[in-house]
Amino acid sequence: MSIIGLQCVGLVTFSMGCLLAVIQAMTPCEILNEASAICTGRNLTRVPKDLPTNLTHLDLSGNSVDATDLGNNRGLWALRDLVVLNLSNNNMPTLPPEIFMNLKKLKVLDLSHCKIDLLHPKAFKGLLSLKILMLNNNRIKNLATQFLSDAQELSTLNLANNKLTTVTIQLLEKFERIHEVQLQRNSWVCDCNLYPLQKWLMLRFASDAPQAEGGKEWYYLIGVLVIAIAFSALIAIGVKFKLFHKYLTSYSHQLLPEQDAISQDHDIFNVNLPRTSELENIRDTTMYPPHGLDEDDGYIEDNYIQTEVKAEDEPEMHVSI
């Protein structure tokens, strides 16, 4: 191939590269597998019109999409197969009604950090499959009772860091079917109107505490207790068996011969009593003490001092008148 041919090939390659770069620069979104589109941070004000209609995931975060524009509404209505839609960090002061009307398969909707002030009661009309709704970090002050009428499958609702001051009892009743509701960092007014919310939160936390993971903690606790009791019983049995075995090994039992047993019984009942002659000597010694011993036992009998002697010693008393 000549030098001119090589130069032509290089020029064509360079031209194709430039054309692809221009096309990519003109395309606002990156299409992945014809099912996901990433359009984040492109300074978009409208929903791109050339998106595949079979998209399931669309990321429009970090733009300036205006939700009140009818063209944007129509662009979203055309994406009937969307499952995940990320519109966070856009400028949407007002969320109009029926903006997501045709997205019946949508399950995740992220509208956080969109500066939403006004939330229309029918803004989420048609979202029959919605499970996760992110409305945190906005400026929402009021919530209409019917704003979640169509979202019967909702399991997670994030309303944290807004301007809410109170929540009605009717809305709290709708929250009952939602598994997770985040309401922290709002501008609550502590008056009588807040009592239903306080009561609902207390009941909610009290009912959810023992039911985490389907109440399996109780089964785990019972299992641990049973294992602990079983190990304690095994240890006790082992200790007792060891002591019993030691007692058996130290105890040697032998039957006595028959003659030894008889002699042993005889010895048990044989009492060495003194003989008859010895008993007589003891009796004689007691009753008749031997000669030469003083028979005075130290005691003075009643009539030992005779009264006659006493009468002679005493002088006679004469009384004369």
H helix intervals, 179-215? 195-208
Q: How many domains does the chain have?
A: 1
**In Å, what is the CA distance from 57 to each residue of 41, 51, 84, 150, 307?**
16, 11, 5, 22, 146
What pLDDT was estimated at residue 249?
Answer: 67
Residue 187 has pLDDT above 80, yes or no: yes
Q: Mean pLDDT over all residues of the chain?
A: 75
The H-or-E segment that residue 249 falls in is helix 216-250
Instruction: Calculate ∠ Cα 226-232-235, nearest 5°.
Output: 140
Only one residue has tokens 């966070």, namely: 88
139 assigned to some structural domain: yes
DSSP string, 95-152: E-TTTTTT-TT--EEE-TTS---EE-TTTTTT-TT--EEE--SS------TTTTSS-T
Residue 284 has pLDDT above 60, yes or no: no
CATH number at residue 100: 3.80.10.10
Residue 90 has pLDDT above 80, yes or no: yes
* 58/108 Cα distance (integer angstroms): 11
List the structure tokens of 247.
């007692």
196 assigned to some structural domain: no
Name the more confident of 38 and 308. 38
The H-or-E segment that residue 30 falls in is strand 30-32
Q: First vs last Cα of the chain: how many Å apart?
A: 199
Average pLDDT value for residue range 146-163: 93
Residues 6+ apart with CB under 8 A from 100: 76, 85, 106, 109, 123, 124, 125, 126, 127
267 assigned to some structural domain: no
Confidence of residue 33 (pLDDT cuts 50, 70, 90): confident
224 assigned to some structural domain: no
**Model pTM?**
0.58
202 assigned to some structural domain: no
Least reliable range by pLDDT among 114-123, 169-178, 252-261: 252-261
Domain that holds residue 152: 26-165+180-188
